Structure 1
Amino acid sequence: MATIAPLPEDRRGAPMRAVVTGSDSGIGAATAVALAGGGCDVGITFHRDEQGAERTAQQVRERGVTAAVRQLDLTDLPTAASVIDELAAELGGIDVLVNCAGTGTAQRVMDMDFDTWRQVLSVDLDGAFLCSQRAAAHMIEAGKGGRIINITSVHEHAPRVGAAPYCAAKAGLGALTKVLAMELAQYDITVNSVAPGEISTPMTGQEDVDPRTESRPGVPLGRPGHAKEVAAVVAFLATPAAGYVTGSSYVVDGGLLLMGPQAGGMLSDDSWREP
């Protein structure tokens, strides 16, 4: 019987410095803590919730690593992206960028003004583009490879009524992920997206809710997800073990996307048409 040769040892070692945007709560906070648990110093950003960012920083420091905190307003572009440079300078470099900061709407296209449309795209797509560009420049200069991980959504892959700019931004970020994966591969920088479904976070109005207590009959696993379940996938993608994974989208949704035609065929009224 033929034997399988072991994988070559990764000479670059594990990443040591990460920046997670939007890490004052929810998925971003859980990701920052997960990366800290793996030995990464972490740059934490917030928009308005400075206290939330400091809580995340405390949890990071409790794991024996460094935390640096900055405000990041992705409605102020391109200026705000310089925060990535500031964090890279304080941490001594950047090996991992997680683009998690985001916003959304619950409004129909015909009721939406252009400013609302542009604000969501600015934060969710333009911001991720600029932060990725800044982080990649540091990774290329250091010559040690790196990881860029974009938090998209199941709406990278499927639409939702009342979420036009959010869906457009997340689908665009999914495509940007693939282009970056191709362009940055020569520098040993991998780029992937993680696409959560409904996760119990402040963004979904479920802060401090145990998802195991919430019933979701339309989701095969029957419940929302926990932010830590998304963070675990992000943390994996940041490790040397994921060194041959790039340009992929990892869906973390309890099977929600599998239900498309199945769930559609079971609807008994038009309530789905409302945001």
Structure 2
Amino acid sequence: MSHPRLAVVTGSDSGIGAATASLLAAEGYDLGLTFHHDEESLLETVQAVEQRGQRCFVEPYDASSTRAGDVVDSLAERLGGLGVVVNVAGTGHNDRALDLSYDRWRQVLATDLDGPFLVAQRAAQRMVDAGEGGRIVNVTSVHEHVPRYGSAAYCAAKAGLGGLTKVMALELAEHGITVNAVAPGEIATEMTGTPEADAYRTDRPGNPTGRPGHVDEVASVIGFLCSPRAAYVTGASYVVDGGLMLMAAHGHDLQSQEWRTV
């Protein structure tokens, strides 16, 4: 089943979302893009899409809103259909569980789990009704799989999104819709505080590759999962971390208590 080359990518104003939008445009997709606050940066993504000869539509999007799914309907109507949704928009925090306020907990859970659920649900409803199959890709994190000190809400949300991905994969397979997760490690983005341009020259001794990842390296995996080549891949979580998770057994080699800081 060949799904339409019409895609919605949330969080397209920078980082992984912008890189994904550019890659999908290069592969012949028309795009619906969202931004939360940085509309100026989004215009650079729009320009990159249009330079590749593809149509591009833009909508503001608040992933923490109970109406987050409405952006799917708006963009799908403007695109004339929907074949792919990529949930990229998200947030993080640095608070120990003992210090984490309930309001902050709810804000992170709403942004990183509730919003992607509403978007994926609305997209799936449209794809099922159209009967042409589709692709849903949720960008989680290595912290879908392993904990991080000072990130209780973030880890809970990403683990929850990973579980949601598997359930939706089970339920939607009969409709020709695949649902997968991509779990990045440290990627050079505004969110991690490392400029994208410095991805290949920033030293990370604790990572087997010795550096953070580049957004294009994550986008390439997302692009594969969106493509017809991945028609038999569903319910999977692709870790893109340069081997970072393989280092767990080396924790006993740490020489300081600095990991206890947030």
In structure 2, list runs of 5 or more residues that go unmatched.
Answer: none
Q: Secondary structure at 1:245's aligned position in 2?
A: coil
Q: Secondary structure at 1:158's aligned position in 2?
A: coil
CA distance in 1, matches of 2:150, 2:37: 25
Q: Give the letter for the 1:137 counterpart.
A: Q
Which residue of the partner structure matches residue 121 of structure 2?
Answer: 133
Alpha-carbon distance, 1:75 to partner: 2.2
Report whether the alignment pairs 1:113 with 2:101.
Answer: yes
Alpha-carbon distance, 1:271 to partner: 1.1
Which residue of the partner structure matches residue 6 of structure 2?
Answer: 17
Alpha-carbon distance, 1:13 to partner: 3.7
Report whether the alignment pairs 1:226 with 2:214.
Answer: yes
CA distance in 2, matches of 1:212, 1:74: 31
CA distance in 2, matches of 1:154, 1:218: 15
CA distance in 2, matches of 1:188, 1:41: 21
| Residues 69-89 of structure 1 deviation map (CA, whole Å, 9 limit, x = unaligned) | 000012221x23211100000
Q: Give the letter for the 2:17 counterpart.
A: G
Q: Mean Cα displacement is larger for which, 135-144 or 208-217?
A: 208-217
Q: Map residues 158-177 of structure 1 onto 2, 5 A cutoff.
A: 158-177=146-165
Pairing partner for 1:35 from 24, 38, 46: 24
| Residues 174-213 of structure 1 deviation map (CA, whole Å, 9 limit, x = unaligned) | 0000000000001000000000000001111123432111
Alpha-carbon distance, 1:109 to partner: 1.0
Q: Give the letter for the 1:268 counterpart.
A: Q
Q: Secondary structure at 1:117's aligned position in 2?
A: helix
Which residue of the partner structure matches residue 274 of structure 1?
Answer: 261
Q: Give the letter for the 1:144 counterpart.
A: E
Q: How many residues align?
A: 262
- Contact 2:182-2:239 within 8 A present in 1 as well: yes
In structure 1, list runs of 5 or more residues that go unmatched.
Answer: 1-11
How well do the aligned residues superpose, as a CA RMSD in angstroms?
0.9
Whichever of the two has the greater Rg, that structure is 1
| Residues 64-117 of structure 1 deviation map (CA, whole Å, 9 limit, x = unaligned) | 10111000012221x232111000000011100000000010111111110000
Which residue of the partner structure matches residue 225 of structure 2?
Answer: 237
Q: Secondary structure at 1:175's aligned position in 2?
A: helix
Which residue of the partner structure matches residue 246 of structure 1?
Answer: 234
Q: Secondary structure at 2:256's aligned position in 1?
A: coil
Q: Mean Cα displacement is larger for which, 144-153 or 105-114?
A: 105-114
Please report the TM-score for the alignment, with normalisation by the length of structure 1.
0.93
CA distance in 1, matches of 2:42, 2:152: 29
Q: Map residues 87-98 of structure 1 onto 2, 5 A cutoff.
A: 87-98=75-86
Alpha-carbon distance, 1:147 to partner: 0.3
Which residue of the partner structure matches residue 8 of structure 1?
Answer: none
- Contact 1:54-1:69 within 8 A present in 2 as well: no
